[in-house]
Structure 1
């Protein structure tokens, strides 16, 4: 029987990771679920988040989007995941910078279509960003919304009435109409949306706008796992007008939670954080490991995580507005506990 597959799409900071974590709460005890997570950068923050959840198989594809650079890696890893883990359900979180059309083409190709049942594509949208004319004119934003079967306004608890009205008007303007339109708080999606079918394929083939489409990955491409380290490591990746820079720190290193929160709270506000749109980190503090999840203009969200490997952090900026990455690395090091 084909395995249900769910694409959870959305721009950077839309709440994809949080939403998938909440969906895992609905997993029946007897079912095996798997997640394929695609981080634009090389460090793999989201893989660490999902890897801390018991009973979930996780495959990471880092260093590029699944629709283009990461496509070859996904082609190689997905059949192996299905064969080895035999999941009852598969959730896929593409990079917020990726065009989902190329990924849909891959999942509906002849060699995979007989094994996969692609369900409704869920697109998450922060309604507060609809006031930004540049966002609304973005090809990526419009493509993600157009391809979706379900459109969801995230962060509805902190969005204004005007934000939600703009979202409702935007959703109503889309044609064909969506199978479902909704709102959510703290990533709590309606699990009934997982059972909706997708309309993909009803209107003809999907063509990815990325140059090269599903071309072969370069020799130095996405990795599925990162080895253990005993010294700090810096990793970078750039494509499609964005630059990601990340750091990994030894598992034994301990950081100050308050200093990290202050750092992540200041995205795009002052040096060395000017120009940064997105920041995430999974870092060890005195009493636990914490996930730091931040978008420029918002307060950083912090939550405990059952991750027990290396500490890691990653930031994304526009290519033409990169910060001083060396200074940012130094700022992260300054958050290390003096007692460590």
Structure 2
């Protein structure tokens, strides 16, 4: 038995009665569930460049940036009084206030009429929980290359893969005897070697834009309640003053079917699914795929879909959105 003789406050804690009933006498009773909270705000930027000289010249560079935001606030353990089969007998002389809190027992205790709750007046409120994150990433890359004689000699690696053409635009090849031809195969059926362009004709440009997006959102409510039919509110005038409700209306509003057995699964607890490293990897993957395969949306979409598999349909939708954003950025 808890005979406080004054105010009783339970902030983020629980009173449990197993073999014995819970008896409590107090002047005022305040029970409040507390939320675990965490936030994350992150930005990341990277730039890179390279220059290669061989039989010709090649230069390339890239830039990407990403941002991630996360916000989590959830009750992990619902505060309250949790009685066993012997129920509870609670008497509050003045006022009771429940914030996302429970006064409950096993179903058996309520069925056996072992629960009683009496207070002068009562107020109650629920707690809204949320857990969400979002991230986005954008990247751009480009390169230019050309083939021409350098001090490193003609035997160095060619920097441009652009194939030479004749004045009519026909692709040129080199046969096994070193002769230039427009035929891709020799008379013996052997493949001829592609002849690479030189000078300004060999200039080759490439660029890509990529976009990544990832998010998750959850919400729930931690509800206040008392699980017994045996509720007495003694001060009708005070009750009306505090809530604008009659005693009967307030009793109907506070009554809950949540029991000691079912409370853990109905507390509204949310799992914090945010992991900044995993989200960053996901953003990088989507950005790199859309940057590389942007011109071939179908190929990129297939790669992303295969990566996600049946794990999450929402992920495939995000991949599709990322592809669409990348295409818009290029337009």
TM-score bracket for the superposition, by shorter chain length: under 0.3
Higher-Rg structure is 2
Between structures 1 and 2, the one with greater strand share: 2
Q: TM-score, normalised by structure 2?
A: 0.18
Between structures 1 and 2, the one with greater helix share: 1
